[in-house]
Amino acid sequence: MFRLITGIPGPSGFGSASTAEQVAQEIDASKLTAIVTGGASGIGLETARVLALRNAHVIIGARNMEAANEAKKMILRDNENAKIDVMKLDLASLENICYHNGFEIQFATNHIGHFHLTNLLLEKIKQTAKSTGIEGRIVNLSSVAHIHTYRGGIKFENINDERSYCDKRSYGQSKLANILHATELSRRLQAEGANVTVNSVHPGLIMTNLFKHSGFLMKILKFSTGILWKNVPQGAATTCYVALHPSLKCVTGKYFVDCNEFKPSAYARDEILAKRLWDFSNKIINAAEIDVKVS
């Protein structure tokens, strides 16, 4: 908490006050291709901008193509040599990711959509890392909110139960799933000997335009805890650090906060829970793909 408030760097040399540009400074990413989901606004856009600034080929995956194209124009205005493309990607859409629309939206979008997208790209990532010798890196955007979930961590038996639904705990459940996904995928890739790492990050409490539409209580929370909040460049720092920094070569299956490794909750460290979530997620995807073929 002291480092969070003061911005004093941790063991990595960076901290809560570090920006995405600072953590990526002088890194040459010209041989990398990065897909950034949610890259049309907020910390996703800042992540895409900084990766492009370091010469990576950036693909912005977004539901709103108008916003994505505006993001591309903005990046090119400041960096005319940026290699940037946009791709239609709706992680909450049956057409794009082939899963049941009936699933609780936060779990579906934050976890199942990204889980399926990662699976679709995984062989390409592994093959590219092997042929080029360049380490592939997968970064899951989680949250400290993963500690505020349902009893047992994941409600496998009644994921869509409306009677016990709590939007805050459902959000925490989806963010816990992001960490568990990274943990289990990391374990599997290590067992294969693949040159690919998988880590998860907490970006911090971010001041974005979303708060223009937030409820009264959330605005009070923002006011009363203002010293803990980050701006967007600071919010994108941990993602860029984990995606690019050479000091993290071969580091995998970890959780990062303020550009430093951090110990997540007991549920997030539960390997049995991670394996169960993996099987559960695959079952959802496989059932959805069968339904799509039938229909």
Q: What dihedral angle (degrees, nearest 10) is formed by the CA atoms of 74, 84, 250, 19?
A: -10
Please state the φ and ψ torsions of residue 49, each to the nearest 5 degrees: -65, -45
Q: Which of 99, 165, 241, 255 is catalytic?
A: 165
Please state the φ and ψ torsions of residue 196, each to the nearest 5 degrees: -140, 130
Q: How is residue 16 written in tokens?
A: 């809560």
Q: On the CB side of 225, how many CA atoms lie within 13 Å of its CA?
A: 15
- Look at the chain and count its residues: 295
How far from each other are the two terminal CA atoms of the chain, in whole angstroms? 52
Taking the C-alpha atoms of residue 245 and residue 240, their distance in angstroms, rounded to an integer, is 8
Taking the C-alpha atoms of residue 140 and residue 245, their distance in angstroms, rounded to an integer, is 16
Taking the C-alpha atoms of residue 290 and residue 4, their distance in angstroms, rounded to an integer, is 47
Taking the C-alpha atoms of residue 158 and residue 282, their distance in angstroms, rounded to an integer, is 17
Please confirm, yes or no, whether 165 is among the known catalytic residues: yes
Residue 90 CB neighbours (<10 A):
15
Q: How is residue 71 written in tokens?
A: 């993001």
| Residues known to be catalytic | 165
